[in-house]
Structure formats: structure tokens, C-alpha cells
Amino acid sequence: MAVPCVRCPVRATSVLTYDHAGAEAYLDDARGNEASYEGLTLCETHAHRFSPPRGWQLVDRRTKDVRLFNDVGGH
């Protein structure tokens, strides 16, 4: 059974988890059984929009070639 995004009714494609001690946030591929463990389920749109708290690092461990930011202006 498909799990919806926590922000909208669209099917989740990613799971967001945190390591508070390490100040890291992780994006992983949704596998369909996300209701059975901790983490926030996000659709592709909301996963792209996510930004970690200030001072934290986002580790994108999804297998798809997903870019969270476009390289605009050569920066």
C-alpha cells in the first residue's frame, strides 16, 4: 500500500530521517513499508523543497539522480 506524503495527499517517494547528535538529515528512497518505522514520508516535490536546519548537513542517499538545487549562474 502506497504511503502518502506528510505534507500533501501525493504518494511518498522519499523518507526523511534525522541524526540529531550528528546534525544531519537524510533523504532515502521510499520502499513502500514506511508506515512501519520512524521518518517523515515526502513526495518528490516536498523532498526537493526540504532544507535542513541551519548548521546541519543534508545527506541525499536516494538512488535516483535527483538534484536539489540548480547550478544557476555558475555558483
| Model confidence band, residue 58 (pLDDT cutoffs 50, 70, 90) | very high
Torsion over CA: 43, 51, 59, 40 (sign): negative
Strand partners, 41: 15
pTM: 0.77
Q: What is the pLDDT of residues 8-22, one digit of tens each?
A: 999 999 999 999 999
39 neighbors 12 (Cβ within 8 angstroms): no
Q: What is the pLDDT of residues 20-50, one digit of tens each?
A: 999 999 999 988 766 666 899 999 999 999 9
| Model confidence band, residue 2 (pLDDT cutoffs 50, 70, 90) | confident
